[in-house]
Structures are given as C-alpha cells and as structure tokens.
Amino acid sequence: MRIAATADLHFSPQSYDRIREPMGHVRDEADLLILAGDLTNYGKPEEMESLLNALVRLRIPIVAVLGNHDYESGHEAQLIQMMTTEGIKVLDGSAYERDDVGFAGCKGFPGGFGRGMLTAFGEKEIKNFVQASVDETLKLERALAQLRAEKRVVVLHYSPIAETVLGEPEQIFPYLGSSRFGEVADRHGVNLIVHGHAHHGQTEGRTTAGVPVYNVAMSLLMSRNGGQPYRIFEV
C-alpha cells in the first residue's frame, strides 16, 4: 500500500490555497492519506466544515487523528462526528484495517522522553497530568490489540521519540510527546509510526526497538521535502 501522510494543516481557506495544487495530486501517488492531527487552528466546527469541503475533493480514503489545536474549543466530539459522516476514519484509541494493513492511533499526549519522562509523584496536579498521558497510552494499546493485520501503522499527533523533535527548543521537549507511546509500539511490533506537532523537528527517527518514526508536520515537509506537503510511504 502506498500511504501519503501529513499533519498540522492548521486549516484556513487562505493557507490551503498554496497547497491546493499539490494536494490535488495525492490520489495519483497514494492509496490512502493519513492526517496526523492539528487539522484546524482552534477546533471550531466552521473550520472543520471548510476543511472537509477541500478533503472530499481529493477522492482518497483518509485516516486521521486529532491534535491539540483541534481540542482548543471543546468541540472535539463534534469534529470527529463531522469527519466520520464524510467517511474519514478517525482513530481515537480505535483501529482500522484496509487491504491487509492495520492502522491504530490516538492523539497522544506530552510527558517527556527516556529518563526525562515525568512520573506520577508529588502534587495531585502532576499526578493528573501523568494520568492523562497514561490514559492516552492505554488508548493506543487497546487499538493495537484490535488489529489482526500483519502490517501495522501507528498514527499519533504527539511524538513517541525524542529524535524527531530535535530542533525544537530543548525547554519544550517534554510537551512535544512521550516515550510511553514508543514503548507500546515496540511491544506490538509495528512497521511504521507517523506523527506531527514538532514543526521544527527532524523528519526521521527510530524507536528503541528500531521501528521507523516519521515527523510529517506539513511546514517541516515543505521545507525539507521539495515543497511537497505530504510524504509517501510504502507498507
């Protein structure tokens, strides 16, 4: 399967105009399109409505997760419903299989990487924060457990490794993702992980077990991928 992946559209009709032509060719290059979160700027239904008008014209199967921006206005459930109505497979601790390839995903959450990963110790506010990260990790675990396909792709918004956020200010690394998600992927032997969120990070990395991880934030791709707003993978 040829998969196109991108993230961080932060959609507005004006911003989409500059990528409208290359996005119009995605159907010729790929069998499926992944959108790895931050589809909107403020998570407003009217933003999603405009985005969906553009996406349906692509005439390609789409798998997506939401990002932190899509949660900003508290309408995330409505956004998911709008997308689902248009036939988009939205992963939120859920799985989807197509042509012997399985997709599992969720938004993800901050928390830090490796020895710097935050633990549930101290104030209740810290414990609540860590629990939110654990809860999101369990979503991914459940989604992967549902898959029967041999080939498996994980879709996140937040990064599962530190390597693909290098280039962002070091002070904000803990807010760009968490190693917890990489550990889950390693246990389930996935083939590929894509994420966004780190607009100034690196395009590629690997989990501890060697699973390839790709940062497909659109601004990053356009600066390092010959101006192409998506990246193609074969699975």
Domain boundaries, the chain: 2-234
pLDDT in tens, 180-199: 999 999 999 999 999 999 99
Reported as a single tens digit per residue, the pLDDT across 36-84 is 999 999 999 999 999 999 999 999 999 999 999 999 999 999 999 999 9
DSSP string computed for 30-44: -SEEEEES--SSS--
Beta strands in 169-211 (DSSP E): 192-195, 204-206
Cβ pair 128, 114 in contact under 8 A? no
The answer regarding whether domain 2-234 maps to CATH 1.20.1440.230 reads no
Q: Which residues contact 235 (CB under 8 A, 6 or more apart)?
A: 1, 3, 101, 151, 153, 191, 192
SS3 164: helix
Note whether 185 and 193 are within 8 A (CB): yes
